[in-house]
Chain A
């Protein structure tokens, strides 16, 4: 039986367990004077039985599935002819790969030698045995689980409480998966970065002014490892994020103020969803918009003023990224402004303040901490944005503050470092992890500050 039929089988048994468990609970209840004499509802006993049928079997299945390939491969390679076993481990690994491919019916790299096809057959026969054992074990466990639960069902069994406990464990397990994934990613980035820093010193990476990772893979190059100075990338990132915020902060804020303070209800009910649509446009669409429409426009305009503009410029990417972030800024600020109590507005109006005075002098300052928090979140978004910059800002790592030149950012370099065939232990590839680490730390700090600020602000009006 394949794993998925087995799963289906367990599910059916578990459903049957539910029905039987409930039936037994009813039976016991009758013997003891009604459902009231049970600690929990009959359905709880059914569920309890179902859990005992399914969970141990499923756990076994998961463990089995994760161990089976390794065990099979180990057993098969032990049976390989002696002359193959004496080969260096990498060669053995390659041969085992061929075996696995043959088993899976894939294309095999070299002509199939008799040893390999023999090993493949061995593999297949082992696998069949394994499947049988697995099916028997799973079936046995469901049966055992069922019997166990069946015997436990009596009036004083606290089935409801036990189910609650299972639910809690399941919930904890789910959230743990999310947390562990994050921790895993962070750790892997961290360790790869540490490997990178064995090739390139940290200080050089953080403070070096020149970035050209392509030259470093040629070992005859003088100072090949000297080209991993990430300052131009940081500068480019900040330049583009800065331009984006120059666009998004004022426009987003004004939009939020208009929507929350001035707009009639009808306008608001149309404009807010429209802004949310803007937020839903995929960034790659913004990207080609930037590359194909905005960048040429800027170039043409700049040239008509006698300026030299690169065809891919920080300005184009920054402007479009700014537009992309507008809905982000405006909806966050809108929430914050709406959270300012109406009493504050009444207080100002009752003193004879006009609408704009009230907004500027009372509401805006009251909402400022929250707005700043929102802006910081927007900045971290801008720093992490990749697609627009890849398409519109270019790849050349210029160290410049001129928005009309091409620059590159941390995210873009990560992309270019990893595109194409790479050796996994070259500094060039590892540099991507170091850049990722910097990016992660930067956005983490921004988010922590922003969230603290926003939370403080929320408390102010409890």
Chain B
């Protein structure tokens, strides 16, 4: 009993010192002059021939703390781009810039330029409602609404007025569930609560919900990290099918997943975009030391 308490104390203390150590390296590595390891500009190819998103010098601040530093990145049409990097390096933060979900965090501030088909979405005059209809999002933890399966999928089309009548709405709900690979499993229980499905089914329901408003881009923030391997495999297959019609940005902690599903991979480190390139290249022959360290599992 006493021994347990003691070891707990010890662990907490060692964690603290570990944190202090990270902080020290971080500040000595990336002080105000952004010296040493992080490259001056992103290594690899940040551009794309047919970009949907064009991001330039994107900075994000939480209150006074900067979380993203001058990220430049193009995201191409109908490509799957994965974002990898150690926890807390700003992957989610960057992803949330793309549909302005950071607006919902009072202390968050985004500067720079993010163009969606040539239009700057950071402009305060842009209405986020149509923007979010064009750029859908799937979260880490499945978050179906406490409504029926049907209503979950129908919610987006309803608020955007996409269906003129019940027949059209049924049509949208069915195709969305079909595309999300869920229709077969739920077509007999459309009026049952979405929260009653299994985790993997819930996540596919959330994907169906996002697809239902016909977005151009789907942002996925660690969509499989709460799922078992079989459910994960299903979602990965699904992403493969969806890339025919959608652009997909996926944040993932699994390098195998990034390798399996994406054409391009972006590596983030402490708020900087270190390297972005063809997925094969990143995983077989990374150009930057930090990327290499990460994919060979030296930290992260």
Q: Once the chains are docked, how many angstroms separate the CA of A361 from the CA of B131? A: 20
Give every chain B residue within 8 A of A264 (Cβ-Cβ).
Answer: 106
Interface centre among B130, B159, B210 (most CB of A within 10 A): B159
**Interface size of B as a range:** 20 to 34
Contact B213 A343 (CB under 8 A): no
**A420, CB-defined interface residue at 8 Å:** no
Which residues from 243 to 282 on chain A have a C-beta closer than 8 Å to any C-beta of chain B?
264-265
Contact B143 A351 (CB under 8 A): no
Q: Mark A214-230, 1 if CB is under 8 A from B, else 0.
A: 00000000000000000
Least CB distance from B247 to A in Å reads 16
Q: Once the chains are docked, how many angstroms separate the CA of A265 from the CA of B107? A: 11
**A365, CB-defined interface residue at 8 Å:** yes
Q: Once the chains are docked, how many angstroms separate the CA of A347 from the CA of B137? A: 8
Contact A352 B143 (CB under 8 A): no
**B206, CB-defined interface residue at 8 Å:** yes
Q: Mark B83-109, 1 if CB is under 8 A from A, else 0.
A: 000000000000000010100101000
Give every chain A residue within 8 A of B137 (Cβ-Cβ).
Answer: 346, 350
Contact B131 A347 (CB under 8 A): no
**B61, CB-defined interface residue at 8 Å:** no
Interface centre among A346, A347, A349 (most CB of B within 10 A): A347
Give B130's nearest chain A residue, CB to CB.
A352
Q: Mark B131-160, 1 if CB is under 8 A from A, else 0.
A: 111001101010111110000000110011
Contact B143 A346 (CB under 8 A): yes
Give every chain A residue within 8 A of B128 (Cβ-Cβ).
Answer: 352
Q: Once the chains are docked, how many angstroms separate the CA of A444 from the CA of B212? A: 47
Contact B160 A352 (CB under 8 A): yes
**B209, CB-defined interface residue at 8 Å:** yes
Q: Once the chains are docked, how many angstroms separate the CA of A346 from the CA of B137? A: 9
Contact B155 A350 (CB under 8 A): no
Q: Once the chains are docked, how many angstroms separate the CA of A312 from the CA of B206? A: 57
Contact B104 A346 (CB under 8 A): yes
Picked from A265, A344, A351, the residue with its CB within 8 Å of the CB of B159 is A351
Least CB distance from A267 to B in Å reads 12
Least CB distance from B219 to A in Å reads 8
Give A349's nearest chain B residue, CB to CB.
B104
**A341, CB-defined interface residue at 8 Å:** yes
Q: Mark A365-381, 1 if CB is under 8 A from B, else 0.
A: 11000000000000000
Contact A343 B141 (CB under 8 A): yes
Q: Mark B39-55, 1 if CB is under 8 A from A, else 0.
A: 00000000000000000
Give every chain A residue within 8 A of B160 (Cβ-Cβ).
Answer: 352
Give A369's nearest chain B residue, CB to CB.
B146
Q: Once the chains are docked, how many angstroms separate the CA of A341 from the CA of B146? A: 11
Contact B146 A349 (CB under 8 A): no
Would A362 and B159 be within 8 Å (CB), given that A347-B139, A347-B206, A349-B101 are in contact? no
Contact A354 B143 (CB under 8 A): no
Contact A350 B145 (CB under 8 A): no
Give every chain B residue within 8 A of A194 (Cβ-Cβ).
Answer: none
Least CB distance from B97 to A in Å reads 13
**A122, CB-defined interface residue at 8 Å:** no
**B129, CB-defined interface residue at 8 Å:** yes
Q: Mark A348-365, 1 if CB is under 8 A from B, else 0.
A: 111111100100011001
Contact A349 B141 (CB under 8 A): no
Q: Mark B180-208, 1 if CB is under 8 A from A, else 0.
A: 00000000000000010000000000100
Give every chain B residue within 8 A of A357 (Cβ-Cβ).
Answer: 159
Number of A-B contacts (CB under 8 A): 69
Q: Once the chains are docked, how many angstroms separate the CA of A346 from the CA of B132? A: 12
Give every chain B residue within 8 A of A354 (Cβ-Cβ).
Answer: 129, 159
Give B213's nearest chain A residue, CB to CB.
A351
**A66, CB-defined interface residue at 8 Å:** no
Least CB distance from A351 to B in Å reads 4
Is the contact region of chain A dominated by helix, strand, or loop, or is it mixed? Answer: helix
Q: Once the chains are docked, how many angstroms separate the CA of A347 from the CA of B132? A: 11
Picked from A265, A344, A349, A352, the residue with its CB within 8 Å of the CB of B145 is A344
Least CB distance from B144 to A in Å reads 8
Contact B132 A351 (CB under 8 A): yes
Contact A351 B136 (CB under 8 A): yes
Q: Mark A335-347, 1 if CB is under 8 A from B, else 0.
A: 0000001011111
Least CB distance from B46 to A in Å reads 26
**A106, CB-defined interface residue at 8 Å:** no
Picked from B104, B146, B147, B156, the residue with its CB within 8 Å of the CB of A352 is B156
Give every chain A residue within 8 A of B139 (Cβ-Cβ).
Answer: 343, 346-347, 350
Q: Once the chains are docked, how many angstroms separate the CA of A264 from the CA of B210? A: 29
Which residues from 317 to 343 on chain A have a C-beta closer than 8 Å to any C-beta of chain B?
341, 343
Contact A352 B133 (CB under 8 A): yes
Give every chain A residue within 8 A of B131 (Cβ-Cβ).
Answer: 352
Contact B145 A348 (CB under 8 A): yes
Least CB distance from B172 to A in Å reads 13
Q: Once the chains are docked, how many angstroms separate the CA of A346 from the CA of B155? A: 14
Q: Mark B158-174, 1 if CB is under 8 A from A, else 0.
A: 01100000000000000
Give every chain B residue within 8 A of A343 (Cβ-Cβ).
Answer: 139, 141, 143
Contact B147 A350 (CB under 8 A): no
Give every chain B residue within 8 A of A353 (Cβ-Cβ).
Answer: 129, 155, 159
Least CB distance from A353 to B in Å reads 5
Q: Once the chains are docked, how many angstroms separate the CA of A354 from the CA of B99? A: 14
Give B146's nearest chain A residue, CB to CB.
A366
Q: Once the chains are docked, how many angstroms separate the CA of A357 from the CA of B156? A: 11
Give A460's nearest chain B residue, CB to CB.
B146
Q: Once the chains are docked, how many angstroms separate the CA of A264 from the CA of B104? A: 12
Q: Can you list 10 A-B pairs with a CB-CB distance of less than 8 A?
A: A345-B104, A346-B137, A349-B101, A350-B136, A350-B210, A351-B156, A352-B133, A353-B129, A354-B129, A460-B146
List 6 tightest A-B contacts by C-beta distance, closest first.
A352-B132, A350-B137, A343-B143, A347-B143, A351-B156, A352-B133
- Enumerate chain B interface residues (CB-CB to A < 8 A): 99, 101, 104, 106, 128-133, 136-137, 139, 141, 143-147, 155-156, 159-160, 195, 206, 209-210, 213
- Known contacts A352-B129, A365-B147; 5 additional CB pairs below 8 A are A344-B145, A347-B144, A347-B145, A350-B99, A352-B130
